[in-house]
Amino acid sequence: MGFGLKTTTGIIAAVLVTAALAQLSKVFAPLAAALFIIAIVWPIQKRLQSFMPRLVALAITVVATVAVCLGVTSLAAWGFGRVGRSLVNDLPRYQALYSAVVTWLDGHGISVAGLWAEHFNVGWLLRATQQVTTRVNTTLTFWVIALVYVMLGLLEVENIRRNIERLDNKTAARVLLDGSAATAAKFRRYLLVRTKMSAITGLLVGAFAWVAGLPFALEWGVIAFVLNYIPFIGPFIATLFPTLLAMTQFESWPAVLGVFVCLNVIQFAVGSYIEPRVAGSMLSISPVVVLFAIFFWTFLWGLFGTFIGVPITLAILTFCAAHPSSRWVADLFGGPDQAKPGKL
């Protein structure tokens, strides 16, 4: 009876926490992003402030972090800018393709023109534009808040550690310190794995585009590299646009289909087979849990949840492994070589 009551209470608590995270995403999502960034860049901040004033070290760390993020964003903007101009120039060809498809469907009793006019009119276009503008403004606000959290958090890391060390509950202090150190180390390994897999994906996509004779092979490789940091959604976009370009470059639909299939094979092989196994092996987390974390946090926090879902799950499993009463959770959902929490 006692075990059943504890289980029921745990389930109710998990549901309530999940609901709170979903409803207060504007509060918790920037905080989660800031904690992830702090864990990644803290070794730089710690090393710099060992031989220079802390505020100067903070300024260098923040500027370097922002520069890296802007560099990755600029790569994506460069690739999409060059490809986008080509797609715009090919609009008459796409119009001709659309007309041919509509004519073929009408000949088989499927009316597309009426459906297009009903749902994809000027009003829909205006609403879509407003939604994109709102999303851009929300994203900028999100990262500004996260950056403020990062700056304040980097200044408080050592103070928080000392406060934890002074806790009367030494078990809780040990769990917090060891779990934080192990989580930060796993975050850095996760980002390293993600970067390696993104580089492999970019090289394979660029090489395939070059062999297949698609224009902008370098740009497609860069776009695939950047978008691979966003699981599932990013690879889908990196597959869709080359296929659209192939429609105007190749005369036959089988060739277009071949481009689409080959790009998806590359993305699936790297993103859904190699990467989960490499990440699971290095980070002691089950590949099934990796995929579930991506879907679950995407459902809660949208696109950002897609990126941060695995790190959050890593943190949960690492803290569970740091305490005897919850270690079974890490043993159950972790990989075969569940790492022991380290020390700061």
Q: Could you write out the three-class secondary structure of 130-194? A: HHHHHHHHHHHHHHHHHHHHHHHHHHHHHHHHHHHHCCCCHHHHHHHHHHHHHHHHHHHHHHHHH
Q: How many domains does the chain have?
A: 1
Domain annotation covers residue 6: no
Domain annotation covers residue 80: yes
* Lowest mean per-residue pLDDT among 90-94, 252-256, 338-342: 338-342
Domain annotation covers residue 267: yes
Residue 342's pLDDT band (boundaries 50, 70, 90)?
very low
Domain annotation covers residue 188: yes
Torsion of CA 176, 281, 75, 61, to 10 degrees: 30
Average pLDDT of the chain to the nearest whole number = 79
For the stretch 264-283, pLDDT in tens is 888 888 876 777 677 666 66
Domain annotation covers residue 317: yes
**Confidence check: pLDDT of 193 > 70:** yes
Residue 113's pLDDT band (boundaries 50, 70, 90)?
low
pLDDT confidence of residue 59: 92
Range of the domain at 163: 25-333
Please give the C-alpha separations between residue 52 and each of 47, 57, 94, 157, in angstroms, as whole numbers. 9, 7, 58, 17
Which has more confidence, 15 or 58? 58
What is the token pair recorded at 333? 């959902």
Which range of 55-59, 123-127, 279-283 scores highest in mean pLDDT? It is 55-59
- Determine the average pLDDT of the residues in 317-321: 86
Domain annotation covers residue 142: yes
* Lowest mean per-residue pLDDT among 178-187, 241-250, 272-281, 311-320: 272-281
Residue 317's pLDDT band (boundaries 50, 70, 90)?
confident
Which has more confidence, 303 or 156? 156
- Determine the average pLDDT of the residues in 4-25: 71
Burial profile 122-160: b = 16 or more Cβ within 10 angstroms, e = fewer = eeeeeeeeeeeeeeeeeeeebbebbbebbbebbeebeee
**Confidence check: pLDDT of 163 > 80:** yes
* CB neighbour class for 170 (10 Å; exposed up to 12, middle 13-18, buried from 19): exposed
pTM: 0.79
Please name which of 220, 344, 333, 218 lies closest in space to residue 284, comparing C-alpha atoms: 333
Domain annotation covers residue 215: yes
